[in-house]
């Protein structure tokens, strides 16, 4: 396992990452970047599947995406704790893996755990860089925290072309058998297990893709705009 990664994706729950960023992860790995995934909870409040089943599924999905590692903290599903102790735990994760870019949910979301994940990861990303804050590891600050969207759709700051990685993303999502549509499952139907849900993911990928003139896209927000060297390349093919 490679401890140090280029991109580190945080989420409250395992499958959150695949749904919003699976294509970006698969593409980045293919491009030679090192990627790590960290969930802040064990998903123990989920309606379908057990934390053990979801953990196994998440490891299968991680293999499909080709990431260096995936593990979980235990900050409490359905009431995620965000006190100083929890903040220090996230700071340690950032100092341990030293990502150039950290990813987290946009901190205004339908699910309060997503909101809290977005906030604690943003704050920890800043605090991790304070040299006077001493922990067992050296100070380190990512360049930026980039946010992905979950329930609420906002106008993105940038869109990643994930056309070539879309199949891998959907394969990784399918690894979460307990969560998504399975006609044989006896678990109660929830929002994401409705067959319409995966259709929505497909439609969203196409919608964001259309925004940049490609087949599939994944969209992100940053509070500061990205630096652009190639203005023409950035808008290539959009005259059609």
- Min dist. Cβ of residue 46 to Zn ion (A): 9
Give whichever of 100 and 119 is closer to Zn ion, judged by the CB atom.
119
- The yes or no reply on residue 161 touching Zn ion (CB under 5 A) is no
- Min dist. Cβ of residue 173 to Zn ion (A): 13
For 1, the token pair is 């396992």
Instruction: Name the nearest CA neighbour of 189 among 45, 42, 47.
Output: 47
Q: Residues 152-188, buried b or exposed e (16+ Cβ, 10 A)?
A: eeeebebbbbbeebbebbbbbbbbbbbbbbeeeeeee
Q: 172 with 22: CB under 8 angstroms? A: yes
- The yes or no reply on residue 68 touching Zn ion (CB under 5 A) is no
- Min dist. Cβ of residue 149 to Zn ion (A): 12
Measured CA to CA, the distance from residue 6 to residue 161 in angstroms comes to 18
- Contact segment (CB under 5 A) with Zn ion among 5-13, 31-39, 49-57, 229-237 equals 5-13
Residues within window 7-46 making contact with Zn ion, judged by CB under 5 A: 12-13, 16
- Min dist. Cβ of residue 113 to Zn ion (A): 6
- Min dist. Cβ of residue 41 to Zn ion (A): 8
- Residue count, binding to Zn ion (CB under 5 A): 3
Q: Which residues bind Zn ion (CB under 5 A)?
A: 12-13, 16
């Amino acid at each position: 396992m490679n401890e140090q990664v280029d991109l580190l994706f945080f989420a409250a729950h395992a499958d959150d990452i695949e749904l919003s960023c699976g294509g970006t992860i698969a593409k980045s790995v293919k491009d030679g970047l090192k990627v790590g995934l960290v969930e802040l909870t064990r998903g123990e409040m989920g309606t379908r599947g057990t934390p053990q089943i979801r953990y196994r599924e998440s490891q299968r999905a991680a293999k499909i995406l080709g990431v260096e590692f995936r593990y979980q903290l235990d900050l409490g599903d359905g009431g995620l704790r965000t006190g100083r102790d929890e903040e220090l735990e996230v700071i340690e994760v950032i100092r341990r893996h030293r990502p150039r870019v950290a990813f987290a949910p946009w901190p205004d979301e339908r699910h309060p755990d997503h909101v809290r994940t977005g906030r604690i990861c943003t704050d920890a990303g800043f605090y991790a860089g304070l040299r006077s804050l001493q922990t067992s590891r050296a100070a380190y600050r990512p360049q930026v925290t980039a946010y992905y969207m979950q329930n609420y759709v906002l106008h993105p700051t940038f869109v990643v072309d994930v056309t070539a990685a879309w199949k891998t993303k959907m394969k990784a999502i399918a690894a979460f058998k307990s969560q998504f549509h399975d006609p044989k499952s006896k678990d109660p139907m929830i929002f994401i297990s409705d067959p319409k849900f995966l259709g929505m993911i497909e439609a969203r990928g196409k919608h964001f893709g259309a925004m940049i003139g490609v087949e599939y896209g994944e969209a992100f927000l940053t509070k500061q705009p990205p630096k652009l060297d190639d203005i023409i390349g950035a808008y290539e093919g959009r005259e059609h």
